[in-house]
Amino acid sequence: MRRQSALVALAVVSALALGALPGAFAGSTADPGITSTSIVLGGTSPLTGPAAAYASVARGAKAYFDSVNAKGGVAKRKLEYKIVDDAYNPAQSVQATRQLVEQDKVFAIFNSLGTEQNIAVREYLNQTKVPQLFVASGATTWGRDAVKYPWTIGFQPSYQAEGLVYGQYVSKTMKKAKIAVLLQNDDYGKDLLVGLKRGLARSGSKVVAAESYEVTAPDVQSQVAKLKSSGANVLAIFATPKFAIQAFVYANRLAWRPRIINNSVSGASNIMLLASEGGKNKSIEGAISLNFLKDPTDPKWKNDPGMKSYRSVMGKYAKGANVSDVYHVYGMAVAFETVSLFKRLGANPTRAGLLARARSITSPANPFLLPGIAVRTGKGDNFPIQQGQLQRWTKGKWAPFGGLWESDRL
């Protein structure tokens, strides 16, 4: 009896206290995050956790902003870019994004990385009318649901379009190919698979096996073994870098020599070099991948002005970072577009104005993207980059072949 009454008393006390105390209130008139001297942007990035390799995307962007700030910024405003770690966990992305919006009062959320990480905050950002600018993910939903979420805009080519290119490439160049697919068990992996299947439609080739893994899994050894036993002669790796490297290594250990398609998120040269095990890996030779960035390890760009400025910015503003990491180039490419976006916004940028401008980009040349790749958006077009170049891994480096593939045309 005593226990019960104590319980009731506890409940009553807390319930009373709940009602009796005042809460704070928030409210403001002008768009936050912008003053006459600064523009504050913020984004989440996996600085730790299973996808920590992607942290370079944010670091590259920050280095570029710092270099622009050193030259006086945009219209005398310095670009401040706050990066918060979410460990690639969507629940942490939500908390970190709220921190950026509510505490750090950013002007826009920019370059946050990951498909589910961005889906988790999309509703929140759209309802609070904070721009979700240049999402670092190629999920199809950024384009498909553009009308429902007008405050969200993507950057890289969509994963479905990329898968479509691989499918069309296979149906053009091979007869009756049997394709085995290793995919990450989320929207990103599935989008690529859907695109691949669409590209294969009405050809004699087909997907004979698909094995998925969880991003938190330690390795993909058993998946690769199963895929080999399917008797496929093409292996499509739709996996993030750590797992893509494992897939190459295990395929080689099993003496499996299929033609390998490696998705662009793991296509960086430094990742391929790791996967090639110092030249000992026999399976990797001839692997193909779609690319849209200039590769910092490619000697072809030695005297390219864009890559020269890349190296000098890295040397000055990202000391100690790995210059050959192509994700830094991605970061600079997206930062470059952001800077030119703000340049065209005029003296008094607003969030709504930023969005309107981001929907009407026609940027013919981004010095960090492959020549010929345009950055374009329009009404209902939420993917600024829609072109890519197929390349083949030959003798320790990428060799491009064929013309540009364009997802509009496909």
Partner 1 sequence: MNPNLTRVTGFVGFALLVVLVFLLPEWISTFRAQQFAYVGIYLIALLGLNILTGYTGQISLGHGAFMAIGGYTTALLMAGNEQFGQEGLLGIGGGMKDVWTIPIAGLVAGLFGLAFGLPALRLSGLYLALATFAIAVALPSVVKRFEEFSGGGSGVNLFGLPELTAGIIPVDIAGRELVFNDWLYYLCWSIALVLFGIAWLILRGRTGRAFRAVRDSETAAVSSGVSLAHYKTLAFGISAAYAGVAGSLFAIATTFVNPDTFPIALSIFLLVGVVVGGLGGLSGLVVGAIFIQFLPLWAQGEGVASRLPGFIVDRTKEPGAPAIIYGIVLILLMFFLPNGVGGLFRRAGQTLTRWRYSRSG
Query: Would you give the DSSP letter of residue 370?
Result: P
Interface with partner 1 (CB under 8 A), residue from 173, 214, 365, 399: 214
Determine, following the binding rule CB under 8 A, whether residue 185 of this chain makes contact with partner 1.
yes
**Residue of the chain from 38, 69, 78, 95 that contacts partner 1 (CB under 8 A):** 95
Asked if 13 interacts with partner 1 (CB under 8 A), we say yes
Contacts with partner 1: how many residues (CB under 8 A)? Answer: 54
Contact positions with partner 1 (CB under 8 A) in 307-336: 320
Q: Nearer to partner 1 by C-beta: 14 or 28?
A: 14
Query: Does residue 21 touch partner 1 according to CB under 8 A?
Result: yes
216 binds partner 1 (CB under 8 A): yes
Report the nearest approach of partner 1 to the CB of residue 143 (Å).
15
Out of 26, 30, 255, 347, which residue is the one contacting partner 1 (CB under 8 A)?
A: 26
Return the residues of window 32-91 that contact partner 1 according to CB under 8 A: 47-49, 52, 55, 84-85, 87-91
Instruction: Return the H-helix or E-strand segment holding 261.
Output: strand 259-262
Segment lying near partner 1 (by CB under 8 A), choices 67-75, 97-105, 149-157, 287-295:
97-105
Mention every residue, 6+ apart, whose C-beta is less than 8 A from residue 354. 107, 108, 131, 133, 341, 342, 345
Return the residue of 66, 80, 187, 337 that touches partner 1, per CB under 8 A: 187
Centre a 10 Å sphere on the Cβ of residue 335 and count the other Cβ atoms it contains.
29
Please give the Cα distance from 393 to 320 (Å, whole number).
28
Supply the minimum distance, in Å, between the C-beta of residue 54 and partner 1.
12
Using CB under 8 A as the binding rule, whether residue 22 contacts partner 1 is answered as yes
Alpha helices (H) in 201-325, listed in sequence order: 221-229, 241-253, 269-275, 305-317
Placement of tokens 């006390």 in the chain? 13
Q: C-alpha distances in angstroms, 272 versus 30, 157, 171, 275, 306?
A: 48, 21, 25, 5, 23
Beta carbons of 325 and 296 less than 8 angstroms apart: yes
How many other C-beta atoms lie within 10 A of the C-beta of residue 169? Answer: 18
Please choose, from the candidates 43, 44, 46, 50, the residue with its C-alpha nearest in 3D space to the C-alpha of residue 241.
50
In the complex with partner 1, which residue's Cβ is closer, 16 or 365?
16
Binding site for partner 1 (CB under 8 A): 3, 6-7, 10-11, 13-15, 17-26, 47-49, 52, 55, 84-85, 87-91, 94-95, 98-99, 102-103, 116, 119-124, 127-128, 141, 185-187, 190, 214-216, 320
